[in-house]
Structure 1
Amino acid sequence: MNITNRTVFIAGATSGIGLELARRFAAAGSTVIVGGRRTDLLDQIGAEGFATVAIDVTDQASIDRARDTVLDAHPDLDTIMTMSGVMIPEDLRDPAHFTVAEKSIDTNLLGTIRVIDAFTPHLIARGAGTIITVTSGIGFLPFPVMPSYAASKAGVHAYSEALRAQLDGTGVEVAELVPPAVATTPEQAQLNPHALELAGFATEVMDLLRTDPTPHEILVKGVLMHRWAERDGTYDELVAQRSRALAMLSGRQ
C-alpha cells in the first residue's frame, strides 16, 4: 500500500501503538481518522489536527454511527485498521476469570469482526482498499498469564486468513500486523525490559509497508521468535520460560 496517499480509519487509536501509527501515516502524507472510546483523549488528538470519531467496538450501534460519520466526511476511505484491544491477566483456577475471558473475546475478536463488517461493503463497492487487522506475538506463542488474550489474538489471525481468502478478487487486501511486546509508557518499559521501544517499532512497521505494499503479515524483527517458534522447534521451551510469570498471579508461589 502506498502510505503517502491513503485515507485511513484506525479504530482504537487514542493511545499507544494505534496513536503512534496514526501520527506516522499522517506524517507520510495520508489522511487519518482516529477512533476511540475516550472523548477526552479524542479532543486532545483532534487538537493535533486529526479527524476523530467516538467508537466502542463492543457496541454495534456505536460502530454504525462511527462508520456513517467517517464515510460521510471521507467517502474516499480506503484503509481500515482494527487496533482496539484489552490485555488482562487471569487465573484459570478461579471461576471468576470468566468475566475477563468474555471481555477479551468481545473486544479483541468480536470487536475486530464488527468493525470489519461495518466497512467491508464500502471497500468492496470501491473495488479497492486495505484492511489491517492487529494480532500479537502472543497469538502464536502464548503467554500463560493472559490465556484469553492469546486465544482472542489467535482467533483474529485465523479470521484474517479466512477474510483474505474470501475477499480475493474484490480488490480489497488484508494485512495482519503482529506486534511483540511494545513499551508504550515508561512504566511498561520498566516492567518488561525486553519490550520494544514504541518509536522504533513504529519506524520498522512503516519501513516494512514501504518495502512490501501489502504483506499478508507485518512482522518486525522482534516478533519473529514468536511467529516462528513452532517451525523453529523452540515453542515448548519458550512457553515453559513464559510460564514462570504465573507466579505473578495472586495466590501463586
Structure 2
Amino acid sequence: MDITSRSVFIAGGTSGIGLELARRFSAAGSTVVVGGRRTDLLERLDAEGLGTVEIDVTDPESVTRARDQVLTRFPSIDTIVTMSGIGQPEDLRDPAHFATTEATIAVNVLGTIRVVDAFTPHLIAQGSGTIITVSSGIGFLPFPLMATYGASKAAVHAYSEALRAQLAGTGVEVAELVPPAVATDFGPSNPHALPLDDYATEVMGLLAQQPTPQEILVQGVLMHRWAERDGTYAALVEQRSRALAGLPGRSRD
C-alpha cells in the first residue's frame, strides 16, 4: 500500500504498537485517527495532532458511535486497524481463570469482529480499502502461560483468512499483522522482546510493499509462524511451557 496517502483508523491505538504505527503513518503523510477508551490519553494525542475518537470495542453502541464520528470527519477513510487487545497469564487448573478468558475473548475476538463489521459496508461501497487485523506469533506457537490470549489470536487469524476470501473482488484487501514479543507495557516482561522502534520500522516497510502482503511477518516472528512446518513446534512449545513453573503451587525444578 501507499503509506503516504492513506486515511487510517486505529482502534486501540493509544499505546504500544498501535500508537507507534499511528505516529509512523502520520509521519509518512497519512491522515490518522486513533481510537481508545482512556480520554486522558486521547487528549494528549489530540494535542499531538492526531485525530482521536473514544471507543470501547466490547460495547456495540460505542463502536457504532465511533464509526459514525470517524466517517463524518473523514468520509474517505480507507484503512482500518483492529489493534485493541488484552492478555493475561492464566492458571487453567484454577476455574477462577475463566474471568480472564471471558474478558480476553470479548476484546480480542468479538471486539475485532465488531470493528471490522462496523466499517466493512463503507469500504465495500467505496470499492477500495484495507483492513488490518492483529493476531500474534502466539496464535501459531502457543505460550501456555497465556492460553486464552493465544487461542484468541488463532481465532483472529482464522477469521482474517475467511474475511479475505469473502471480500475478494470488492477492492477491499485484508492484511494480518502478526507481532512477536515486542517491548511495550503489554503482558509479562520478556527479555527477548523486540524494541518497539525496530519492530515498527520493519512493519512499515512491509506494509509499503506492492501488493500489500497478506501477512505482515517481521523476521522475529518467522520462528513462530513456521514452527510446525519447520519441525520445531514440539520442542519450542516444551521450552515455552517452562514459564508455567512461575504459577502458584508449580514446581520450579
Whether these two folds match at TM > 0.5 is yes
1:27 partnered with 2:31: no
Using the TM superposition, give the Cα deviation of residue 210 of structure 1 relative to its aligned residue in structure 2, in angstroms.
1.9
RMSD of aligned alpha carbons: 1.3
2:144 aligned counterpart, secondary structure: coil
Kept in 2, the 8 Å contact 1:89–1:146? The answer is yes
Using the TM superposition, give the Cα deviation of residue 185 of structure 1 relative to its aligned residue in structure 2, in angstroms.
4.8
Seen in structure 2, the aligned counterparts of structure 1 residues 187 and 217 have a Cα distance that, compared at 3 Å, is closer
Question: Using the alignment, how far apart are the partners of 1:8 and 1:66 within structure 2?
Answer: 14
243, 246, 253: which is aligned to 1:245? 243
Matches within 5 A, 1:69-80: 69-80=69-80
Kept in 2, the 8 Å contact 1:141–1:235? The answer is yes
1:21 aligned counterpart, secondary structure: helix
What's 1:2 paired with?
Answer: 2
Deviates more, 1:227-236 or 1:210-219: 210-219
233, 236, 239: which is aligned to 2:234? 236
Identity %: 74
Kept in 2, the 8 Å contact 1:2–1:213? The answer is no
Q: Tell me which amino acid in the other structure corresponds to 2:202.
A: E
TM-score, structure 2 as length reference: 0.97
Report the count of equivalent residues.
Answer: 251
Long gaps (5+) in structure 2 = none
TM-score, structure 1 as length reference: 0.97
Kept in 2, the 8 Å contact 1:123–1:172? The answer is yes
Kept in 2, the 8 Å contact 1:86–1:104? The answer is yes
What's 2:223 paired with?
Answer: 225
Question: Using the alignment, how far apart are the partners of 1:74 and 1:153 within structure 2?
Answer: 30
What's 1:103 paired with?
Answer: 103
Question: Using the alignment, how far apart are the partners of 1:69 and 1:8 within structure 2?
Answer: 14
What's 1:152 paired with?
Answer: 152
Question: Using the alignment, how far apart are the partners of 1:16 and 1:5 within structure 2?
Answer: 23
What's 1:167 paired with?
Answer: 167
Kept in 2, the 8 Å contact 1:88–1:149? The answer is yes
Q: Tell me which amino acid in the other structure corresponds to 1:22.
A: A
